[in-house]
Each structure stands twice: as C-alpha cells, then as structure tokens.
Amino acid sequence: MPTTTHRASHREVLVAPDRFEIVSDDAVLVAELRSATAVCIYDAVEEAGALLHLRFIIRSAKPVDVTDTTLATELLLLDRCIESLREAMPNARNLQAKIAAHLPDNPHAQQACDNVLTLVKHFLDDSGMSVVTSDVAAGAPRELRFRPAMGWMQMK
C-alpha cells in the first residue's frame, strides 16, 4: 500500500522498491533510490503516469553476470507497469519515459547495472516509448520526485 502525503496542493505517493504506482491526477510520485533505478512514464496530454522503482540486486561474485531470473522479473514488472498504465489511460498516444538511477559504488556492480539499464531502454523502445531523459549517478542515495501531469522529474 503506498504512503500518501499532501504538500503544496499536490498529493505525494511514495513508491517502494520493486513496486510501481500509477496516478491519473496531479500527484507527485516519490522514491528514494539506493542502488536502484526508476522508470518514469507519462503522457503529458493525458496528465497521468507511472513510476516503477527497481532495485539492482547483485548476488554473485561476478556482478556483471546478472541472472536471467533477475532480468526476467524486472522486465515482467516493467511490462505489468506499462500494461496497467495503458489500461488506466486508453487515450494516451505519446507515452514517454525518463530514467533515473543510483549506482552502487562498486565498479563491477556498476557494469551489471549498466547492462540492466540498457535492457530497460530497449524494452521501452520496443514498447513504442521514447526515453527522453536519463539521469544516472553513483554516490549518496538520491531522492526522485516525479510529477507525471507536467512530465517533471527532479533528483536530489
């Protein structure tokens, strides 16, 4: 169940890791990225959108080898997010995506995360969406704020 707060007349919805949330009103979706990626999908005409929050899970001694199960699970969640958004917005004709990520400090793990991001971008492209912005960085955890009605994404 998402956590919802009200601030400056815009409802805020906290999106937990490995979950997605869809909004059809002028709300702000919020996620804290810690070794994770966020896929923000919106149609500015319909003023609705979704945020998918995926953790990078590296379990092997060779982090570049992300398991097929992990990739399949992430792509299945992305597919469900897109399908649910299209059901909520049947008139959307120009879905766009913005991607933000927080990379782990380990350079080998970063390579695995880059592989996942590449796969996600290809999946979005195959789904008929253009990725208009990508904000990827390491360092301290990052707070993402996404307002689909305006196509606005902010990283702190």
Residue 97's CATH number: 3.30.1330.200
Regions of the chain short of the pLDDT cut 70: 1-8, 57-71, 109
pTM of the model: 0.84
Quick one: pLDDT at residue 12?
Answer: 95
Quick one: pLDDT at residue 63?
Answer: 46
3-class DSSP string for the chain: CCEEEEECCEEEEECCCCEEEEECCCCEEEEEECCEEEEEEEECCCCEEEEEEEECCCCCCCCCCCCHHHHHHHHHHHHHHHHHHHHHCCCCCCCEEEEEEECCCCHHHHHHHHHHHHHHHHHHHHCCCEEEEEEEECCCCEEEEEECCCCEEEEC
Give burial (CB, 10 Å; 0-12/13-18/19+) of 130: exposed
Quick one: pLDDT at residue 64?
Answer: 45
pLDDT tens-digit map of 52-83:
999 876 655 554 455 556 667 788 899 999 99
Residue 156 lies in a domain: no
Quick one: pLDDT at residue 92?
Answer: 82
Q: Which structural domain range is residue 115 located in?
A: 3-150
Residue 31 lies in a domain: yes
Question: How many separate domains does the chain show?
Answer: 1
